[in-house]
Amino acid sequence: MKFLTTIFAVLLTASTLAQAEVVEYTLDVRETTIAPAGTSVRALTINGGLPGPTLRFKVGDVARIHVVNGLKNEEVSSHWHGLLLPNVEDGVPYVTTPPIVPGKSRTFEFPLKHAGTYWYHSHTGLQEQRGVYGSIVIEPKGGERVKADKEAVLVLSDWTNEDPQEVMRTLMRASDWYAIKKGTAQSILGAAKSGYLKDYFQREKSRLPPMDVSDVAYDAFLINGKPLSTLKAKPGERVRLRIINAAASTYFYLNSATGPLSIIAADGMDVQPIKQSRLLIGMAETYDVLLTVPGSGAWEFRATSQDGSGKASVFIGDGENKSAADIERLNPYSMNVALAAVLDQLDETGQLSDKEALAQEKPRPLPPYKRLKAVKPTTLPKAAPVRRIQLKLNGDMMRYIWTINGTTLTENSTIPVKKGEVLQMEIRNDSMMHHPMHLHGHFFRLLMEDGPDPKYAPLKHTVDVPPMSKRVIEFYANEEKDWAFHCHLLYHMHAGMMKVLSYDDQGPDHKPSLDLKNENPFYFLLDGNVQSQMSMGFARFMDSRNDFGAMWKTGWGHDQEMGMMESHDGGPMHSHEDMPDVEYEVDLMWMRYINPRWMTLAGYRFTNMMDDDEDTAFVGFTHRLPYMFDFTGTVESNGDLRFSLAKSLQLTDRLSTFARIEYDTAQEWMWMAGANYTLTKNLGLITSYDSDYGFGAGLSFRF
């Protein structure tokens, strides 16, 4: 309480600002060629560097930061992550702050009210992944509570040589390419080899895609822009590391050759020191840790990506290298085991129906929240009315839609909040991935069951919500206007996992303004194959919930087949004259995703198929059945019905088989089966047999 009162007191004494020192910085965002992972790529840098400069202030200073947009045709923004500041300076484009248009700049000005380690980053599109981030250090009045001989800021990040828009497109199409690249692809053979075959089928039975702790295959993990760096220090020196996870979609395990890390601050706020030999840090969180250089040598501080696909290191001190302990790589199948326990508890809607299920989950390393304790009581004003709301996090890897309470940001943007209330948010993660949830403009108290005395609940701005678990946070609503609340996994946020906390002072008709250009954009995807006997595919524009596109099937193989085979209905052969050389069926269609199990579809079919050559409109649905069978039913405007059942099986990382059987009241039975081998991200080899067009082989493609 005392602590918060201090913050409010500083806030109110605006008169002190008159004597405050103004500390000025310029951040120039430009497109530059850099090579953090060895290959030269175009990136966005701030003042030419990756990460941007460390902005240093003292509590009581006034920050005056000029952000210059040196880009040709992209807007830019800068959010000051974790800082309490006036709403218009928060830097979320449209929601709080006007975007900075190309060639222009904006000057942010705000008083520094509290000390700690924070950071800044672009809040526009996917710019954060391209390099627009840096660190902020605010020193308390009278110096740090815990003294150290030296300090260093470590900005952790993940780096891809791909354009992040291309990463997003790859995630949208549920390509297995990143899993193949990282070595976490799951297959029947892989499951059998690791002894997890039963769990593999258990997962398929539960209609869930393979689990992984991260979505993207990165080319490098970086600390201060480098996979490997050094930090000068003498034996016996106490070093304070200010660690910021600025990655777009990577949790890191932190450990050090110097022994357990002593955590002294979390999300900028001092905590009672605890020791932790391995620390899991979520995106957008910060920790200040203390370590002592034990003796001569270069002691490794290591950040290992949670999926074990890579690491970044800083060697502290001089001399012989002393390595930090390896973090064992998670077996992707064992995650299925952990989750298998909860799968049986899922009810029909895919929601967790039984809290007991959580207890059965195999323990996995989580952030040290249960042990974090503020240094002073953090209790909120007792007189304030308490309101509790529930927020459910959900998503679908097969589709890459991520929602809060079932909706994306553009579908429903607002969480209403009343000024003067204490808002308790119970955040329930019903999905299979971790979500680091970040609240703008406020510190919340993190209330942990079986944690320390709630009086000392730590104050945070970002909280990891593990799969199939919940977190409860609460804060005093003492602000105004609109503040963003979102998952800090950049691609989840981009796919819809964001809301705007909207204060009631703006009237009942207020709607937050959103960056609609960058929210839920459509991506163009082309998936198909060309084989010796036929070609099939789907070209579409896709956003989180809709597919608009053309699906084609065309065949030319049956001319050769007809001489040898009976026609498929067993009736008399069609003569060559009434049979087109090339048969085609093209569906112009709209598919709408309802939930992981249901999609609706509607469209118009152009066809010259010999048994069914009438163009028709159609409507229907696709339903995902246990063991991941997809059942599709359509009714055509001429009264014909069509049903199909499709299934694919991953045999090895790269080899899959597929089969499809279809019944059409006009054409009767048809079936096909085949195999595909993934060569590259875009190409594969395919072979198939189709009951109409026979055997063939060719290339499959994904662009």
Contact residues for Cu ion (CB under 5 A)?
A: 435, 487, 489, 492
Q: Which 8-state DSSP code applies to residue 89? A: G
Specify whether the CB–CB gap between 424 and 472 falls below 8 A: yes
Nearer to Cu ion, 435 or 461 (CB): 435
Token pair 């019903």 is found at 430
Q: Which two tokens stand for residue 112?
A: 């520094």
Q: Report the alpha-carbon distance of residue 61 to residue 59 in Å, rounded.
A: 6
The smaller minimum CB distance to Cu ion, of residues 440 and 492, is found at 492
Least distance to Cu ion, CB of residue 222, Å: 21
Give min distance, CB of 271 to Cu ion, in A. Answer: 25
N- to C-terminal Cα separation, the chain? 56
Residue 468 or 487 having the CB closest to Cu ion? 487
CB 122, CB 128: distance < 8 Å: yes
Closest distance to Cu ion from the beta carbon of 442 (Å) = 20
d(CA 75, CA 124): 7
The residues, ordered by sequence, that sit 6+ positions from 383 with a Cβ below 8 Å of its Cβ are: none
Q: For 176, what's the count of Cα atoms within 13 Å in the CB-facing half-sphere?
A: 23
- Residue (438 or 702) nearer to Cu ion, CB: 438
Contact by Cβ (8 Å): 63, 55: yes
Closest C-alpha among 511, 520, 464 to residue 492: 520
- Interatomic CA distance for residues 372 and 292, integer angstroms: 21
3-state secondary structure 452-488: CCHHHCCEECEEEECCCCEEEEEEECCCCCEEEEEEC
Beta bridge pairs of residue 529: 536, 700
Q: For residues 160 and 462, which CB has a smaller minimum distance to Cu ion in the complex?
A: 462
Q: Which helix (H) or strand (E) holds 7?
A: helix 2-12
Taking the C-alpha atoms of residue 416 and residue 460, their distance in angstroms, rounded to an integer, is 21
Query: What minimum distance in Å lies between the beta carbon of 485 and Cu ion?
Result: 12
| Residue (489 or 525) nearer to Cu ion, CB | 489
- Kindly state the smallest distance separating residue 491's Cβ from Cu ion, in Å: 8
CA 158 – CA 281 distance, rounded (Å) = 13
Q: Provide the minimum distance between the beta carbon of 595 and Cu ion in the complex, in angstroms, as a whole number.
A: 18
What SS3 class is residue 188? helix
**Cβ(492)–Cβ(406) below 8 Å:** no
- For residues 96 and 209, give the distance between their C-alpha atoms in angstroms, rounded to a whole number: 37
Q: Is 435 or 545 the residue whose CB approaches Cu ion more closely?
A: 435
What's the length of the chain? 703
CB nearer to Cu ion: pick between 394 and 678: 394
- In the complex with Cu ion, which residue's Cβ is closer, 301 or 400? 400
Cβ at position 440, least distance to Cu ion in Å: 16
Q: Which is nearer to Cu ion, 76 or 487 (CB)?
A: 487
Looking at the Cβ atoms of 130 and 492, the one nearer to Cu ion is 492
The nearest distance, CB 495 to Cu ion, in angstroms, is 9
Residue 442: both structure tokens together: 């406020």
Nearer to Cu ion, 130 or 488 (CB): 488
Shortest Å distance, C-beta 165 to Cu ion: 19
- The nearer residue to Cu ion, 125 or 557, going by C-beta atoms, is 125
Helices (H), 519-634: 558-562
Based on its alpha-carbon atoms, the radius of gyration of the chain, rounded to whole angstroms, reads 28
Cα four-point dihedral sign 377, 380, 382, 386: negative
Structure tokens at 62: 């006034």
Q: Exposed (0-12), middle (13-18) or buried (19+): which is 507, by Cβ within 10 Å?
A: exposed
Of 433, 412, 417, 427, the residue nearest 384 (C-alpha): 417
Q: Which residue has the tokens 């899991």?
A: 280
Toward Cu ion, which CB reaches closer, 399 or 492?
492
- Rounded least distance, CB 493 to Cu ion, Å: 7
Rounded distance between C-alpha atoms, residue 454 and residue 434, angstroms: 24
Q: How far is the CB of 494 from Cu ion (least distance, A)?
A: 10
- Angle among Cα 546, 552, 556 to the nearest 5 degrees reads 170
Q: Closer to Cu ion at the Cβ: 269 or 487?
A: 487
Give the 3-state secondary structure of residue 236. coil
Distance of closest approach, residue 497 Cβ to Cu ion, in angstroms: 5
Q: What's the min distance (Å) between Cβ of 117 and Cu ion?
A: 23
Q: What angle do CA 181, 186, 190 make, to 5 degrees?
A: 110
Closest CB to Cu ion among residues 43, 284: 284
In the complex, least distance from residue 489 CB atom to Cu ion, rounded to whole angstroms: 4
- Write down the least CB distance from residue 492 to Cu ion, Å: 3
Give the SS3 label for residue 492. helix
Shortest Cβ distance from residue 392 to Cu ion (Å)? 13
Continuous segment of H or E residues that includes residue 22? strand 22-34
The 10 Å CB-count burial string (b at 16+, else e) for 113-150 is: bbbbbbbbbbbbbbbbbbbbbbbbbbeeeeeeeeebee
